[in-house]
């Protein structure tokens, strides 16, 4: 496969309007697949399958951004599957399944030959205050690479015994993986647009900024004021080196039992129980330092695992009457989700020994080296040479900041000399952190129930009505700043861990902070209640159709805008009513005519 698509970039400000255009995104790929089936004996059959997918492309990782923010993405994937099905007596069937997958992926920054003359090539990842769609420079989530393997063993046994049909099974999955994640290289930052600065700064002070009227070159970008950055520092290898043997493998176990019991010819009960467990969902080998006690609690043990994830299920189907036209059914169960394994990787860097892995270092940890920098976020106060940088609107330009970072980042890196002692950890030096885990982190689960009736009205018309309720708990609401670094009380910035003053930022023993300290938070909840009605007309008289109607109420968190009350945004989600009408008419115009399929969908 060899193809290209176009991405259209339409900047939303006059100063950057000239950067718009249509940009080609090339893609090449190769696929291969083969399957072999073989009957060993009348009671044993097997098959094996191999598939390969190799591809590479150059394009954006999300929406349409300027090409300097794109990625060179290369993939190599192999999958092998083996399956053996055996029947002993006809009432006992066993299915054994083995799968192996390998995925190698590289996400790398564009080179000059990929993006000749691109604005911001090699710059930090930059978004712009005042614009909703401007982003240039090395994309924030790269460079990335991964070499992941997965070995999956599954075995299920079905046994028909009298009025019971039992099913037993197990799934064992071993998933080793290594890679690298060089996020925010050289930094992830925010700049101010000329339009925004002009709208908030009185005209007599605008000459202090020396703003370009339009942005057409790297030199113009370097003149824009910088709002703040996060800088990726340290070893990008993943998992980080400390205890890497414990961290690079995740084992998942699942056991289940199910019985379908025909109590009467017209009444069947289903019940079952499943259990699942993952060995390395969290960083069980890393305690929390005393530094985090104000946020984490006094028990500094590692995040607790979830060893009791049992999933019971119960249901029935009742054929009412003797005409086989009416069925009442109901069921309920508890279901567990999992979490993405990458979510634990950054925590390993912060909680590991000094020099272990990669961390995000806030620009507020650097100090000013330029005289005459004015902070308009504090009413026009100067930032003295040697004082910490501030987030907000200052007269420091992007160019000045990039030079400052080049000067000061090596000194920060020098403090990150690798060590195997947990006495001093990366978080003691960074004084900020992202993507930590709290002590208690139950994985997401749902409670699902339903009850309904199905009635055959005529030989070609069936009506079904169901009431369903789903409750989702412990949903991940993202990483929240437990340090409340940007909280102001009576006009004073008041984080939970006090702001570092002067030399405190360089003292690993100082109980102070230089930025947010965020934790993944399983604090969400959602509900879904619905009456679902479906009328299904089978094909007869050249007509077939389905009419579906849902009267539903879905509620959940719509966003998090109040850290004093995460549920301030809790409310309705989705449509209240959904009507879907679809049908097929077999037109009698010729023996081989293609059926017409008019479809109407209405959302209210």
DSSP class per residue in 521-582 = ---EEEEEEEEEEEEEEEEETTEEEEEEEEEEEEEEE-----TT-GGGGEEEES-SEEEEEE
CB 482 within 8 A of CB 518: yes
Q: What is the mean pLDDT of residues 93-102?
A: 97
List the structure tokens of 324: 């086989």
| Residue 144 pLDDT greater than 90, yes or no | yes
Task: Report long-range pairs for 459-462 (Cβ below 8 Å, ≥24 apart).
Answer: 459/540, 460/537, 460/538, 460/539, 460/540, 461/535, 461/536, 461/537, 461/538, 462/535, 462/536, 462/538
Determine the number of helices (DSSP H) and then strands (DSSP E) in the chain: 7, 31
pLDDT digits (tens, 9 = 90+) for 45-79: 999 999 999 999 999 988 889 999 999 999 999 99
Q: Which of 58, 109, 517 is closest to 296 using CA atoms?
A: 517
pLDDT reported for residue 604? 47
Domain containing 25 equals 1-116+141-160
Q: Which of 291, 568, 292 is closest to 438 using CA atoms?
A: 292
Does a structural domain hold residue 459? no
| Residue 166 pLDDT greater than 90, yes or no | yes
| Residue 203 pLDDT greater than 60, yes or no | yes
Res. 89 pLDDT band, cuts 50 70 90:
confident
322: which DSSP letter? S
pLDDT reported for residue 539? 86
CB 344 within 8 A of CB 352: no
pLDDT reported for residue 593? 44
Does a structural domain hold residue 96? yes
β partners of residue 583: 545
pLDDT reported for residue 194? 96
CA of 432: how far to CAs of 391, 485, 517, in Å?
15, 9, 5
pLDDT digits (tens, 9 = 90+) for 571-599: 999 999 999 999 888 777 654 444 455 55
Does a structural domain hold residue 14? yes
CB 54 within 8 A of CB 29: yes
Does a structural domain hold residue 23? yes
Q: What is the b/e burial string over 136-151, where b = at least 16 CB atoms within 10 angstroms of the residue's CB?
A: bbbbbbbbbbbebbbe
DSSP secondary structure of 198-224: HHHS-GGGGGGT---SS--SHHHHHTS
Q: Which of 187, 63, 195 is closest to 135 using CA atoms?
A: 63
User: Regarding beta strands 125-129 and 517-520, do their DSSP bridges make them parallel or antiparallel, or are they unpaired?
Assistant: unpaired
Task: Report long-range pairs for 215-222 (Cβ below 8 Å, ≥24 apart).
Answer: 215/15, 215/16, 215/18, 215/19, 215/119, 216/18, 216/19, 216/119, 217/119, 218/119, 218/120, 218/123, 221/119, 221/120, 221/123, 221/126, 221/136, 221/191, 221/398, 222/397, 222/398, 222/399, 222/402
For residue 401, give the H/E element and its range: helix 398-414
DSSP secondary structure of 402-442: HHHHHHHHHHHHHTT---S-TTSBHHHHHS-EEEE--S--P
Q: Which of 476, 503, 477 is closest to 560 using CA atoms?
A: 477
Q: What is the rounded CA–CA span in Å between residue 304 and residue 283?
A: 9
User: Regarding beta strands 125-129 and 188-192, do their DSSP bridges make them parallel or antiparallel, or are they unpaired?
Assistant: parallel
Res. 277 pLDDT band, cuts 50 70 90:
very high
List the structure tokens of 189: 């930052």
List the structure tokens of 555: 């509620």
Counting residues of the chain whose pLDDT is more than 90, the rounded percentage is: 82
β partners of residue 225: 397
For residue 99, give the H/E element and its range: strand 92-108
394: which DSSP letter? B
pLDDT digits (tens, 9 = 90+) for 387-409: 999 999 999 999 999 999 999 99
Does a structural domain hold residue 320? no
CB 209 within 8 A of CB 111: no
Res. 105 pLDDT band, cuts 50 70 90:
very high
Pick the range with the lowest mean pLDDT from 51-55, 97-101, 525-529, 582-586.
582-586
Positive or negative, the CA dihedral 61, 64, 67, 69 is negative
pLDDT digits (tens, 9 = 90+) for 322-344: 788 999 999 999 999 999 988 99
Q: What is the mean pLDDT of the chain?
A: 93
pLDDT reported for residue 418? 80
Q: What is the mean pLDDT of residues 352-369?
A: 90
pLDDT digits (tens, 9 = 90+) for 10-25: 999 999 999 999 999 9
The alpha carbons of the chain give a radius of gyration, in whole angstroms, of 30
- CB neighbours of residue 201 within 10 Å: 19
HSE-up (13 A, CA, CB side) for residue 402: 23
pLDDT reported for residue 559? 87
Does a structural domain hold residue 43? yes
Q: What is the rounded CA–CA span in Å between residue 145 and residue 108?
A: 8
Does a structural domain hold residue 276? no
List the structure tokens of 385: 């040479």
β partners of residue 354: none
Number of domains in the chain: 1
User: Regarding beta strands 358-362 and 374-375, do their DSSP bridges make them parallel or antiparallel, or are they unpaired?
Assistant: unpaired
Q: What is the rounded CA–CA span in Å between residue 420 and residue 440?
A: 27
Does a structural domain hold residue 528? no
Q: What is the mean pLDDT of residues 352-364?
A: 89
């Amino acid at each position: 496969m060899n193809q290209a698509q176009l991405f259209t970039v339409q900047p939303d400000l006059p100063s950057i309007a000239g950067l718009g255009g249509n940009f080609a995104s090339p893609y090449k790929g190769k696929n291969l697949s083969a399957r072999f089936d073989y009957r060993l004996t009348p009671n044993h059959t097997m098959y094996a399958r191999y598939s390969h997918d190799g591809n590479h492309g150059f394009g954006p990782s999300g929406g349409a951004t300027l090409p300097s923010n794109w990625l060179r993405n290369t993939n190599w994937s192999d999958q092998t599957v083996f399956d053996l099905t055996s029947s002993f007596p006809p009432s006992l069937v066993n299915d054994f399944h083995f799968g192996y997958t390998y995925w190698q992926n590289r996400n790398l920054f564009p080179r000059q030959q990929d993006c000749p003359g691109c604005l911001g090539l090699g710059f930090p990842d930059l978004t712009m205050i005042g614009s909703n769609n401007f982003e240039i420079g090395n994309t924030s989530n790269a460079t990335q690479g991964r070499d992941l393997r997965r070995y999956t063993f599954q075995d299920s046994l079905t046994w028909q015994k009298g009025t019971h049909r039992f099913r037993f099974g197990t799934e064992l999955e071993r998933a080793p993986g290594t890679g690298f994640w060089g996020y925010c290289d050289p930094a992830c930052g925010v700049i101010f647009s000329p339009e925004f600065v002009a709208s908030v700064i009185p005209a007599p002070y605008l000459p202090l900024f020396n703003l370009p009227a339009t942005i057409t070159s790297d030199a113009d970008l370097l003149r824009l004021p910088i709002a703040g950055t996060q800088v990726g520092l340290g070893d990008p290898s993943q998992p980080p080196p400390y205890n890497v043997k414990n961290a690079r493998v995740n084992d998942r176990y699942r056991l289940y039992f199910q019985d379908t019991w025909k109590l009467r010819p017209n009444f069947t009960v289903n019940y079952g129980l499943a259990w699942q467990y993952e060995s390395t969902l969290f960083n069980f080998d890393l305690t929390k330092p005393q530094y985090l006690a104000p946020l984490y609690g006094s028990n500094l043990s590692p995040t607790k695992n979830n060893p009791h994830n049992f999933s019971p299920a119960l249901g029935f189907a009742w054929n009412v009457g003797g005409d086989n036209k009416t069925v009442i059914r109901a069921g309920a169960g508890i279901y567990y989700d999992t979490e993405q394994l990458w979510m634990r990787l950054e925590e390993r860097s912060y909680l590991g020994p000094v020099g272990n892995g990669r961390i995000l270092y806030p620009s507020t940890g650097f100090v000013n080296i330029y005289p005459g920098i004015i902070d308009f976020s504090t009413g026009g106060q100067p930032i003295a040479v040697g004082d910490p940088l501030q987030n907000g609107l200052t007269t420091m330009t992007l160019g000045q900041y990039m030079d400052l970072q080049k000067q000061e980042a090596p000194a920060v890196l020098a403090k990150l000399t690798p060590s195997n002692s947990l006495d001093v950890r990366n978080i003691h030096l960074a004084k900020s952190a992202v993507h930590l885990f709290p002590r208690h982190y139950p994985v997401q689960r749902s409670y699902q129930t339903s009850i309904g009736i199905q009635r055959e009205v005529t030989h070609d018309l069936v009506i079904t009505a169901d009431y369903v309720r789903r409750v989702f708990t412990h949903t991940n609401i993202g990483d929240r700043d437990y340090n409340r670094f940007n909280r102001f009380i009576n006009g004073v910035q008041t984080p939970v861990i006090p702001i570092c003053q002067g030399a405190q930022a360089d003292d690993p023993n100082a109980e102070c902070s230089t930025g947010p300290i965020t934790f993944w938070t399983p604090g969400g909840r959602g509900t879904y209640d619905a009456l679902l009605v479906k009328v299904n007309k089978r094909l007869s008289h050249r007509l077939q159709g389905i009419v579906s109607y849902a009267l539903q109420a879905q509620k959940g968190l719509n966003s998090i805008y109040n850290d004093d009350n995460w549920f301030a945004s809790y409310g309705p989600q989705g449509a209240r009513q959904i009507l879907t009408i679809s049908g097929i008419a077999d037109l009698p115009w010729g023996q081989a005519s293609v059926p017409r399929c008019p479809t109407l969908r209405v959302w209210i």
